[in-house]
Amino acid sequence: MDVFDELLRSVRGRGAVFGRSMLWPPWSLRFTDGAYLTFCVPMRGAGWIVPEGGEPRHVGLGEAAIVRGPAPFTFTDDITREPGAGAREVRWSEGTGGGQDTDHELSGPTVLLAAAYDVRAQVPQRLLRVLPPALVVPEGHDCTAMRDYLEVQIAGARPGRQIVLDRLLDWLLVCTLRDWFDSPEAEPPGWYQALGDEVAGPALQAIHEDPAHPWTTAGLAARSGVSRTTLAKRFTELVGEAPVAYLTEWRMTLAADLLNRPELTVAAIARRVGYADAFGFSAAFKRLRGESPSTYRQEAVSRTPARAGAPTA
């Protein structure tokens, strides 16, 4: 498993088909429920995504857009309209669709399929931090080939239909992100560029395959088949920090998510991320996170925002 796999492993859509909106001009969709990531695919027509604090992006048929939250954004047919002006407010509840269109036909000159992703865990947040407010992947990517199949699934009533649609949207989200990172427009983070590097890549993969292993720069260099000096120089050039520093930061990211699991003791979490005892782990966590693991755990509830949902239209 590489770092890209791990960052997206826990990202799952919920009730994506119920994010289907059939629109007749003039129209404006206002997304205000605070989803950390929203995936938008026009099944008919086109429109403009206007993120809060970002540049408007046109999204046409055959294209796909990803909007980074939790700030509100608008999907509209008129870029000159004030964000939110005249927008219909429609909310859905998790697992119910919130009463949005129940007709399985895709009628209307513009039809938008949207999936909201409640990404609060620290691991996928590392991916979100490197994304722009909104990105668009042009026609020719996987959504183009999958659009007809999505329509068939939406129109069908076979058992497991919702799960199939959710998983299709999850798959398309990953493919869209991968296509965007490979595009000239993107500024991929150092770890993404390092994945394909013959020196830094094997070391990076080793860290993510077994973060609890007592890795040293020498041990990681052996995995890459180079000297310790060569690895340290190349890894730092691409990733922006030395191998062991990256390892420590990654361990603390994993630990932050594990601290949200009340059944795990601090000592158990320490062992899971490569520390022999809770004392050494706590010292490292406080050095990087600014608070002890116990304090972080106690404040987890207050740090958690309101439940992210789906679009409002």
User: What is the CATH number for 249?
Assistant: 1.10.10.60
pLDDT, residue 278, reads 94
Q: Taking residues 208-236, report their average pLDDT.
A: 96
Range name among 14-28, 30-44, 185-199, 217-231 with the lowest pLDDT average: 14-28
pLDDT, residue 98, reads 32
What is the value of pTM for the model shown?
0.76
Total structural domains within the chain: 2
**Residue 310 banded pLDDT, cuts 50, 70, 90:** very low
Do 171 and 197 sit in the same domain of this protein? no
Do 161 and 196 sit in the same domain of this protein? no
Do 145 and 210 sit in the same domain of this protein? no
Q: Taking residues 154-181, report their average pLDDT.
A: 78
Do 13 and 103 sit in the same domain of this protein? yes
**CATH code at position 8:** 2.60.120.10
306 has pLDDT over 70: no
Residue 156 structural domain = 3-181
Residue where a domain stops, chosen among 130, 158, 181: 181
Question: Does residue 306 fall inside a structural domain?
Answer: no
Residue where a domain stops, chosen among 128, 147, 181: 181
Q: Taking residues 174-189, report their average pLDDT.
A: 84
Percent of the chain with pLDDT over 90: 36
Task: Give start and end residues of each alpha helix (H) in the chain.
Answer: 3-8, 122-128, 142-155, 161-181, 190-194, 200-209, 217-224, 228-239, 243-258, 266-272, 278-289, 293-298, 300-303
pLDDT, residue 141, reads 57
Question: Does residue 307 fall inside a structural domain?
Answer: no
Beta strands 73-76 and 110-117: pairing type?
A: unpaired
Do 201 and 105 sit in the same domain of this protein? no
Question: Does residue 146 fall inside a structural domain?
Answer: yes
Highest mean pLDDT range out of 2-6, 176-180, 274-278? 274-278
pLDDT, residue 3, reads 67
Question: Does residue 309 fall inside a structural domain?
Answer: no
